[in-house]
Structure 1
Amino acid sequence: MAISNINQLLIRNLEAFAATRPLLVNIADDGFIAQYLVQHNVTQLDSYHSNYAEYQAAKRIVNPRIKSHFCVEYQAKNQHDMAIIHFPKSKAEFSFTLAMLAQSMAKDATIIIVGENKGGIKSAEKLSSEYLEFCHKVDSARHCLMYVGKFKASLPHFDLQQFYKYYSIKVQEKQLKIAALPGVFSQNALDTGTEVLLAHLPKNMSGKVLDFGCGAGVISAYIATVYPETKLSLVDVSALALHSAQTTLTLNQLTGEYIASDSLSNVQERYNFVISNPPFHQGVKTHYAATEHFLAQIKQNLHKNSCVTIVANSFLKYAPIMEQAIGKTQTLAIEKGFAIYQCELNNKIEKNN
């Protein structure tokens, strides 16, 4: 596996990262963690991830000196004397991360922040001013920057609820309340792709429904409101998204099953309907692999009379993948720059048009 630019920058500073109990925050493992443990051979390392795929990769490291964590809110049992943070794609998520970590850090702990130039890292100093006494650039390489900082004393106790954004939407005469944490897709408003998808859902949905890449739970909340007899499974790779989706459904007096999964890795059941506004961005780069893998593998989780409906930017050619992997696929609509693709295994599903 090629070592990422961010981790190359970290590796060249390994000697400076001496700590007794450091915390890695959303640092993807491609060899850096192993090198860190060799360089600092008495360190007890914790690796926290809000991304389930990265968490699984860290868990595969066989070393008793590392503990991996996947959750929406990290809380340390023993305070850390250093944190190395991957600057997230969402600037609001950066503030969320700093606020969350403050209570888990020892006094005078060193805070390292790394990220790609085009990923927003240049705003780290300004964005961290509420939480850090200082935030200074200390190195740059491979189109990436590294900052060092220190937490202010006596920061407020972290309250997850204060970072939620709430808004209401009205879809096909149905009023829904939406809740989303920073970094979750459509945190501030209903996105156009989902709006188009909800107007072209299959009619008379029943049985088990899989919402792949559930985000804040908008799709599932609408389906459960219109078709209350359905049994919903909401899947996402993000701990923040899953917590948001659960909050959204609770706000609307709805329930579902919430599955953290790297694509379909933890999806075990078969479904009557699969609905998705699948992600095609990872970090700051366009990334299709997760969606293409989902479409290529989803047939194993379908009943014989199932229906798969997705929305995608119209320039993304997912229809041929669905045709080959699942079955005959039709384009239901192309609206506002988005296409609705549907594959019906029995070709008898009635649509809402």
Structure 2
Amino acid sequence: MDPRSEVLLRQAELFGGPLLLAGLPADDLLGRLPQARGWSWHAGEQALLATRFAGRSHFGVTPPAEDFAAAVLFLPKSRELTDYLLSALAARLAGRQLFLVGEKRAGIERAAKQLAAFGRTRKLDSARHCQLWQLTVENAPATPDLDALARHYSLPLSDGPLSVISLPGVFSHGRLDIGSALLLEHLDQLPAGHLLDFGCGAGVIGAALKRRYPESQVTLLDVDAFAVASSRLTLAANGLEANVISGDGIAAAPQGLAAILSNPPFHQGVHTHYQATENLLRHAAEHLERHGQLRLVANSFLKYPPLIEQHLGPCHTLAEAKGFRIYSASKP
């Protein structure tokens, strides 16, 4: 059981009615709270919840349409995303209860100050290195316009400016990160065919690929619903069409790919998390056609080349700059 869920269940008498659990972990919490419903924006957790609790969890960037008597927000990493989620929930809960739960090291006390915009807060519990906060929504905001919260910026690429739109919570929100900037400089000489932007974020790499290789089919894949929505906005802003899908890891990717390109993050919340990238390296060959290529950028200190060579083939370093390297390997 997730420690945040354990803290909630210490106060189970508060959560007996129709309840929305926003950003909930994929544990047994829905089983312990039979009138609760989930809202997830993580495709992997949503898949697990859907398997165990069919029809009881909603996936997307906006709350489910059903009415609920109270809501609990499981604190996300991003402050901007927390602002949006709290506003989206508070807009539906005038005069009702809104709760916030999270780990101390994830910044729950800071987030409790964001919660205070909607009423008087109080800390209900502190255990398992987590805190639970409560308020009655006295100052219900208008329903937030997610698109209005997007950040827009333009990249001066060799084939012209590329417009990028990112939503709250998306990796490197509102700016181009160093790894992606390096990868953008090394998109040449890719094999013809179906191209995948794995862990697409705001869609920078996928949009650049589609514009550079207009005859190629391009798919963008991310585990996060806000990233998927951002990628669609970025593609539309540049007049491009590509397939954007949500899924947890390389298992969700199409088969028969000519190339997989990725700037995989290695943090999930406040935790270091390498599993998605390691699974990509172990299973990329299963999704690549013969002579298909894997090309990714990663922090130099990450020991990916041995894993690439074990599961795909000889690993070449195409470039190195500012603490990042671009690795390339081809399926025999």
Task: Name the counterpart of 2:48.
Answer: 57
Out of 271, 274, 278, the residue aligned to residue 288 of structure 1 is 274
Classify the secondary structure of the residue corresponding to 1:118.
Answer: helix
Of the candidates 193, 218, 238, which is equivalent to residue 207 of structure 1?
Answer: 193
| Equivalence for 1:256 | 242
Equivalent residues in 2 for 1:203-242, closer than 5 Å: 203=189, 205-242=191-228
Judge conservation of contact 2:200–2:222 (CA < 8 Å) in 1.
yes
User: Which residue in 1 is equivalent to 2:77?
Assistant: 89
After TM superposition, list the pairs within 5 Å mapping 1:162-181 onto structure 2. 162-172=148-158, 174-181=160-167
What's the CA shift string for 1:35-82, capped at 9, x where partnerless? 223xxxxx2x2110010111111112247xx611111222323x2111
Determine the C-alpha separation between the residues in 1 that align with 2:136 and 2:153. Answer: 35
| Counterpart in the other structure of 2:38 | 47
Cα drift, residue 322 of structure 1: 1.1
SS of the equivalent of 1:245 reads helix
The 1-side partners of 2:140 and 2:60 are apart by 25
Matched, 1:315 2:295: no
Query: Which one-letter code corresponds to 2:31 in the other structure?
Result: A
Is residue 76–residue 104 contact of structure 1 (8 Å, CA) maintained in 2?
A: no
Q: Which residue of 1 aligns with 2:318?
A: 332
Instruction: Tell me the TM-score normalised to structure 2 length.
Output: 0.95
Distance 2:140 2:101 in 1: 25
Q: Which residue of 2 aligns with 1:349?
A: none
The secondary structure found in structure 2 opposite 1:129 is helix
Please identify, of 46-55 and 204-213, the stretch whose mean Cα deviation from structure 2 is larger: 204-213
Task: Report what 2:229 is aligned to.
Answer: 243
Partner of 2:291: 305
Q: Which stretch shows the higher mean deviation, 215-224 or 6-15?
A: 6-15
1:60 is paired with a residue whose SS is helix
Number of aligned residue pairs? 332
Detail structure 1 runs of 4+ shifted over 6 Å in the superposition: none
The structural deviation recorded for 1:220 is: 1.0
Alignment of 1:13-28 (within 5 A): 13-19=11-17, 21-28=18-25
Question: What RMSD, in angstroms, separates the aligned Cα atoms of the two structures?
Answer: 1.7
Query: Cα distance 1:204–1:143, how it changes in 2: closer, same or farther (>3 A)?
Result: closer
Identical positions, percent? 35
